[in-house]
C-alpha cells in the first residue's frame, strides 16, 4: 500500500474530527486559503507583508503549529495508531479503505488483522462481482471486447462504486458486451483482494479456505497467473493422493506456462507439472515416493556392481544420482571459470609428470563439459601415463572426438617444458590415427 493511501485511511478513520491544532478556529468545509481569501472569524490578524520565511515567529495569539518538516509516520507507527482507534474493525468502510487496511496489515505480517479487513473489502465488492458473472453468462459464447475497445471511461483512482454504477447504466442501455468488459476491468482490485485473502489464509494454516479464495479469482479470470500458481501449489502440497485434484493442479501449471512463458513462475510451474504427471502415473504421492526410492536402490546396486567389476585402479564411474546432480547444476560464469582453471592446472600436472593429480582435475571437468576436447585429451593422456587398462579406450575416444585437441595438448606440454612428453604424445597420435588430416604438420614436429 502506498504511504499516501495509508495516511488517507488514517485520517478518515481517526477518532478526532479535525486535524487542526488544538484551539484553531473551525474552518468551514470546502474552504480553500488563498492570498485574497478572508480569514475565518476569530483568526488572529496576519501582517500584510511578504510570505513568512521559515523560522519567523508566529503572530501573537496564533495557536501552536506542529513541525511542518516532521516525517510521515512509518507503517509500524500507523498500525499503532489504527490499533488504538476504538471500534475501527466494526466501523463501516468503503471498499478502498478496507482494502488499504488489509494490505497494510498483510504486508507487515499481521495476517489475522489483514483477513478481517480483506473480508470487509470482499463483502463490499460482492455486488460488482455478481453483476460481472451475470453479464458474462448472458453474453454466452459471444466475444467480450477488451477494456480499450469497450471505452469504459474509467480513470485512475476511481472507486469501485463509481465504476460499478457506470457498468449498471451500460447494462440497462442494452450493451451487454461493453458492460461485461467494463465490469471485468472494475474487478481488477477485487481480484487483488481475493488473491491476498488466499495467501493470508494459507499462511494462517487454512488450506481449504485458501483454495476457495483462489477459485473465486479463477472464476472471474481463468488465466490469472498468481491464482493458478497458488491453487496448483496448494493442491500439490495438500492433495497428494487425490488424483483429480493433482490433474487440476497440473492443468493450472500448464496454462500458466503456455499463457505467460516469460513469467518468473513459469520454470517452477513446468517442473511441478512434470512431477505431478509422474505422481499421477504412479497412483499418488506415496506410491511415487516409494517408486523413486526403489529406483535409487536399483541404480545404486548397479553402480556398485559395475565398480566391483572394474580394475582396482580405474577411475570410479559417476552414479546416476551424481549425473542428475551435474545436469541440474546451474552453469554460472563462476562455475565455467573454475572448470577452465582445473583444465589449466591439469595440463600443468601433465607437464610435470603428475598424472594422478591431472586425472583428478579432469574427472571434475568432463561431467560438466563432456564436449571439452582439451579436457578429454588431457584425461586420455593422464590414463595412458598411468598405464591404466582403460586408458587405451579413453585415448581412442579422444582421437575420434577431436584429434586436433590431442595434438594441441602436445604443443602445450612443449610450451611448459615437457619436450619428451610432447614427442611421446605426437608419436602415439601418429601411430593410432593414420588418417589424421594434419599428419604432415605432425611429422614436421616429430622431425625437429
Last residue of a domain, one of 286, 301, 316: 301
Q: Inform me whether the pLDDT recorded for 398 exceeds 80.
A: yes
**Whether 210 and 226 share a structural domain:** no
DSSP assignment letter at 152: -
What percent of the chain has a predicted confidence (pLDDT) above 90?
49
Per-residue confidence band for 402, with pLDDT thresholds at 50, 70 and 90: confident
Per-residue confidence band for 94, with pLDDT thresholds at 50, 70 and 90: very high
Per-residue confidence band for 220, with pLDDT thresholds at 50, 70 and 90: very high
Within a domain: 236: yes
H-assigned helices in 310-390: 320-327, 333-351, 355-365, 373-386
**Whether 340 and 390 share a structural domain:** yes
- Cell numbers describing residue 180: 461485461
At residue 79, the pLDDT reads 85
Within a domain: 14: no
- Higher-confidence residue of 301 and 26: namely 301
**Whether 240 and 193 share a structural domain:** no
At residue 396, the pLDDT reads 86
pLDDT tens-digit profile of 28-37?
A: 544 554 444 5
- Higher-confidence residue of 211 and 81: namely 211
C-alpha 225/C-alpha 245 separation (Å) is 18
At residue 305, the pLDDT reads 62
- Higher-confidence residue of 33 and 336: namely 336
Tell me how many domains the chain contains. Answer: 3
Within a domain: 390: yes
**Whether 2 and 151 share a structural domain:** yes
Q: What is the mean pLDDT of the chain?
A: 83
**Whether 1 and 148 share a structural domain:** yes
Within a domain: 51: no
The rounded Cα 351 to chain-centroid distance in angstroms is 48
**Whether 120 and 182 share a structural domain:** yes
Contact 446, 430 (CB under 8 A): yes
Q: Is 188 exposed, middle or buried (0-12, 13-18, 19+ CB in 10 A)?
A: middle
C-alpha 27/C-alpha 226 separation (Å) is 47
- pTM of full prediction above 0.95: no
At residue 198, the pLDDT reads 94
- Higher-confidence residue of 317 and 343: namely 343
Lowest mean pLDDT of 241-255, 274-288, 289-303, 385-399, name the range: 289-303
**Whether 154 and 205 share a structural domain:** yes
At residue 444, the pLDDT reads 85
At residue 2, the pLDDT reads 47
C-alpha 215/C-alpha 198 separation (Å) is 9
- Domain containing 249 equals 222-301
Per-residue confidence band for 39, with pLDDT thresholds at 50, 70 and 90: low
At residue 116, the pLDDT reads 94
Within a domain: 38: no
Contact 340, 334 (CB under 8 A): no
Comparing CA positions, the residue from 321, 233, 218, 216 lying closest to residue 269 is 233
Within a domain: 126: yes
At residue 254, the pLDDT reads 96
At residue 85, the pLDDT reads 86
Last residue of a domain, one of 265, 283, 301: 301
Q: Inform me whether the pLDDT recorded for 322 exceeds 90.
A: no
Last residue of a domain, one of 220, 254, 288: 220
Q: Inform me whether the pLDDT recorded for 247 exceeds 90.
A: yes
Find the mean pLDDT for residues 114-122: 94
**Whether 294 and 386 share a structural domain:** no
Q: Inform me whether the pLDDT recorded for 325 exceeds 50.
A: yes
CATH number for the domain that contains residue 346: 1.25.40
- Higher-confidence residue of 292 and 102: namely 102
**Whether 210 and 105 share a structural domain:** yes
CB crowding 1-32: b at 16 or more within 10 Å, else e:
beeebbeebbeebeeeeeeeeeebeeeeeeee
**Secondary structure (DSSP) of 39-80:** PPTTPPPPPSSSPPPTTPPPPTTPPP---TTPPPPPHHHHHH
At residue 72, the pLDDT reads 74
At residue 292, the pLDDT reads 83
C-alpha 200/C-alpha 193 separation (Å) is 10
Within a domain: 25: no
Q: How many CB atoms lie within 10 A of CB 89?
A: 12
**Whether 87 and 198 share a structural domain:** yes
- Cell numbers describing residue 89: 474493525
**Whether 204 and 235 share a structural domain:** no
Within a domain: 202: yes
C-alpha 88/C-alpha 347 separation (Å) is 74
Contact 220, 129 (CB under 8 A): yes
**Whether 99 and 2 share a structural domain:** yes
Find the mean pLDDT for residues 333-360: 91
Q: Inform me whether the pLDDT recorded for 264 exceeds 60.
A: yes
pLDDT tens-digit profile of 172-195?
A: 999 999 999 999 999 999 999 999
Amino acid at each position: 500500500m502506498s504511504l499516501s493511501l495509508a495516511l488517507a485511511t488514517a485520517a478518515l478513520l481517526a477518532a478526532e474530527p479535525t486535524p487542526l491544532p488544538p484551539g484553531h478556529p473551525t474552518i468551514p468545509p470546502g474552504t480553500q486559503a488563498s492570498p485574497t481569501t478572508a480569514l475565518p472569524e476569530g483568526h488572529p490578524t496576519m501582517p500584510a507583508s511578504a510570505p513568512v520565511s521559515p523560522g519567523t515567529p508566529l503572530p501573537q495569539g496564533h495557536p501552536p503549529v506542529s513541525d511542518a518538516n516532521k516525517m510521515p509516520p512509518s507503517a509500524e507507527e500507523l498500525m499503532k495508531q489504527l490499533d488504538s482507534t476504538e471500534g475501527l474493525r466494526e466501523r463501516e468502510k468503503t471498499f478502498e479503505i478496507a482494502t488499504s487496511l488489509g494490505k497494510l496489515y498483510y504486508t507487515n505480517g499481521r495476517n489475522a488483522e489483514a483477513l478481517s479487513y480483506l473480508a470487509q473489502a470482499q463483502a463490499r465488492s460482492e455486488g460488482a462481482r455478481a453483476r460481472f458473472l451475470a453479464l458474462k453468462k448472458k453474453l454466452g459464447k459471444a466475444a467480450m471486447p477488451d477494456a480499450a475497445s469497450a471505452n469504459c471511461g474509467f480513470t485512475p483512482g476511481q472507486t469501485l462504486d463509481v465504476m460499478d454504477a457506470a457498468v449498471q447504466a451500460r447494462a440497462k442501455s442494452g450493451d451487454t458486451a461493453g458492460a461485461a468488459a467494463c465490469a471485468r476491468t472494475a474487478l481488477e482490485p477485487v481480484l487483488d483482494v481475493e488473491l491476498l485473502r488466499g495467501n493470508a489464509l494459507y499462511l494462517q494454516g487454512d488450506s481449504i479456505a485458501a483454495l476457495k479464495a483462489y477459485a473465486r479469482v479463477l472464476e472471474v479470470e481463468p488465466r490469472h497467473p498468481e491464482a493458478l500458481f497458488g491453487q496448483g501449489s496448494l493442491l500439490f502440497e495438500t492433495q497428494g493422493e487425490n488424483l483429480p485434484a493433482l490433474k487440476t493442479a497440473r492443468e493450472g501449471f500448464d496454462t500458466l506456462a503456455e499463457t505467460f512463458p516469460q513469467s518468473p513462475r513459469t520454470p517452477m510451474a513446468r517442473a511441478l507439472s512434470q512431477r505431478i504427471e509422474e505422481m499421477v502415473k504412479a497412483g499418488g504421492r506415496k506410491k511415487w515416493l516409494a517408486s523413486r526410492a526403489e529406483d535409487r536402490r536399483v541404480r545404486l546396486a548397479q553402480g556398485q556392481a559395475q565398480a566391483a567389476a572394474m580394475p582396482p585402479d580405474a577411475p570410479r564411474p559417476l552414479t546416476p544420482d551424481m549425473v542428475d546432480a551435474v545436469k541440474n547444476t546451474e552453469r554460472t560464469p563462476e562455475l565455467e571459470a573454475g572448470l577452465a582453471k582445473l583444465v589449466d592446472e591439469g595440463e600443468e600436472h601433465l607437464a610435470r609428470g603428475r598424472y594422478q593429480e591431472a586425472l583428478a582435475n579432469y574427472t571434475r571437468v568432463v561431467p560438466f563439459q563432456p564436449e571439452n576436447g582439451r579436457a578429454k585429451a588431457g584425461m586420455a593422456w593422464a590414463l595412458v601415463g598411468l598405464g591404466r587398462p582403460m586408458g587405451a579406450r579413453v585415448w581412442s575416444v579422444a582421437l575420434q572426438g577431436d584429434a586436433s585437441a590431442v595434438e594441441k595438448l602436445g604443443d602445450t606440454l612443449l610450451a611448459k617444458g615437457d619436450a619428451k612428453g610432447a614427442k611421446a604424445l605426437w608419436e602415439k597420435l601418429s601411430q593410432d590415427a593414420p588418417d589424421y588430416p594434419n599428419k604432415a604438420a605432425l611429422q614436421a614436429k616429430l622431425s625437429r
